[in-house]
Chain A
Amino acid sequence: MNAKELKKYFPILDQEVNGHPLVYLDSAATSQKPVQVIEAITDYYRQSNSNVHRGVHTLGNRATDLYEGARDKVRKFINAASTKEIVFLRGTTTALNLVAQSYGRANVKEGDEIVITLMEHHSNIIPWQQLAKQTGATLKYIPLQDDGTLSLEDVRKTVTPNTKIVSVMMVSNVLGTINPIAEITKIAHENGAVMVVDAAQAAPHMKVDVQQLDCDFLAFSGHKMCGPTGIGVLYGKEHLLDNMEPIEFGGEMIDFVGLYESTWKELPWKFEGGTPIIAGAIGLGAAIDFLSEIGMDAIEQHEHKLASYAMDIVTEIPGISVFGPKRGKDRASVVTFNLDDVHPHDVATVLDADGIAVRAGHHCAQTLMKWCKVSATARASFYLYNTEEDIDRFAASLLKTKEYFSDVF
């Protein structure tokens, strides 16, 4: 694949920021959108906008076909067995909360254990903290190795027959660690627990095959994979979703409604109360078409090359500390770092003055920041539209930052 050619599909990248051509290195926060996605959304609003699942009229049918068509695209994208297993929700956070509040409330009781890891994003911590508080279950953390990876031995030590839920991120948004989800799933299953996967940082960047992973639930967000904000996906194995109660009630999700009792639609619609996120799902479908045409393997290879290139250059800068695993196969295209004593906010402000967008802060991972023994870090994250030239600009600007602060200090 040719990133320079692909960049042309992203109109937002063709602009100057503070007098410099924009280099966008914050795709782990949200990705940019190609014209194909932007057009799919505007075309829908210009030509097909209507409510779904209820119209006898032509537009209603067209909107329903587009919405359900997007669901099938998602199914194929993650190789789920059936569209019944694909629930459209607002994003990863909503999806994980649904699993915690529906599956969790029904299946976790006092004395049980919920197991997560020390590298999780807040969205895969707080829903389980709340569930533990509500049920009297214990929340346990799988520790991290010094290089920011998980050891299967630690997983085996932490997961026990009392564990009912194991929930792990597939790729770390801070460390770039790629976790061995299939192996962890096996351990969870051996102990009778269900396996939940936060794939928010994986689905955009690599092939995710839910049947190969054999996980029970998997969540991801559209906006990190070239789709719009406000749309996400919960995958769940059919027999599990089938036995779960909705947590949102109202229109669209009902079958029969009586004065005092009602019944729910079948899967997946019983979890999609209210008018669904129609344009969002269609936009996500267009994003999946875009990514699939390039090929997830090609994207993964490109990003791996970029990550290695960036790690080689950045780690050479004196005074820089990079968090997470060393360069290698099991490292995603995220470089989280601190530069000397310059606070990450100050680094990000100086880079921004150079037209380079990076994230600074705790990256929604305060527990992980504690583990890193810092209060904040700066992060550059790459995607299919980034090039080696972008990284050269980034590295040159880091050197300038260093120089600038040694001047003012």
Chain B
Amino acid sequence: MSFNNLDQLYRQVIMDHYKNPRNKGSIDDGSVTVDMNNPTCGDRIHLTMKVEDGIVTDAKFDGEGCSISMSSASMMTQAIKGKNIDHAIKLSQIFSEMMLGNDYPDDLDLGDIEALQGVAKFPARIKCATLSWKAMEKGLEGEK
């Protein structure tokens, strides 16, 4: 199959997050709730985060969307749990740079997120990947 460059997009770890999303659901007493959608394609995310003393102690997401948007949301919640607000927002900025195909600082541990690098080569899909991150940033900006 001549789908080699597709394999850069649909990496195994992405598919794993899509099939087995981490932190799926909603926190009942979540202190921060953000609903966001991508009006051009219908993807939507419902993000709840618990923030205590400036630390994101829990994060869950619910929503509908493609493999890229849902796996990205799963990875995002995993990455920000236990981090302080500035750290989480910095991760989001790094993620944006990654999506633009730019160099990004390598002082933070990105874990699974690095698997999404291939999305940069598929411009039509960048918005799918960034949806949950935008939601997270919006929610945490209000908590600063």
Mark A residues whose CB is within 8 Å of B: 18-19, 343-346, 349-350, 352-353, 360-362, 366, 369, 375-376, 400, 403-404, 408-409
Contacts and interface: CB of A to CB of B under 8 A. Distances in A.
12 contacts: A343-B67, A345-B41, A345-B65, A345-B68, A346-B66, A352-B124, A353-B2, A361-B41, A361-B42, A362-B42, A375-B64, A404-B3
Contacts, number: 58
A409 B19 contact: yes
Contacts of A400: 1, 3
B60 interface: no
A343 B65 contact: yes
Given A344-B66, A366-B42, A375-B64, A409 B9 contact: no
Nearest to B7: A408
A353 B5 contact: yes
Contacts of B128: 345
A409 B42 contact: no
A408 B12 contact: yes
A375 B125 contact: no
Contact of A375 (B2, B42, B122): B42
A350 B3 contact: yes
Secondary structure at the B interface, as helix, strand, loop or mixed, is mixed
Contacts of B6: 349-350, 353, 404
Contacts of A350: 3, 6
Given A349-B124, A353-B5, A375-B65, 8 more contacts: A343-B66, A350-B6, A352-B124, A353-B6, A376-B43, A400-B1, A403-B1, A404-B6
B99 to A, nearest CB: 15
Nearest to A352: B124
B124 A362 contact: no
Interface string B59-83: 0000011111000000000000000
A360 B2 contact: no
Interface in B44-99: 44, 64-68
Contacts of B66: 343-346
Interface of B: 1-3, 5-6, 9-10, 12, 15, 19, 40-44, 64-68, 122, 124-125, 128
Interface centre among B19, B43, B122 (most CB of A within 10 A): B43
B116 to A, nearest CB: 14
Contacts of B19: 409
A362 B37 CA distance: 12
Given A400-B1, A409-B19, A349 B125 contact: yes
Given A343-B67, A345-B68, A350-B6, A361 B40 contact: yes
A19 B6 CA distance: 13
Closest 8 CB pairs of A and B: A345-B66, A343-B66, A361-B41, A362-B42, A376-B42, A375-B42, A408-B15, A375-B64
B84 to A, nearest CB: 33
Contacts of A403: 1
Contacts of A376: 41-43
Contacts of B15: 408-409
A375 B10 contact: no
A352 B65 CA distance: 19
A400 B6 CA distance: 12
Given A350-B6, A360-B41, A362-B42, A345 B125 contact: yes
Nearest to A404: B3
Contacts of A362: 41-42
Contacts of B67: 343, 345-346
Contacts of A375: 42-44, 64-65
Contacts of B3: 350, 353, 400, 404
A19 B2 contact: yes
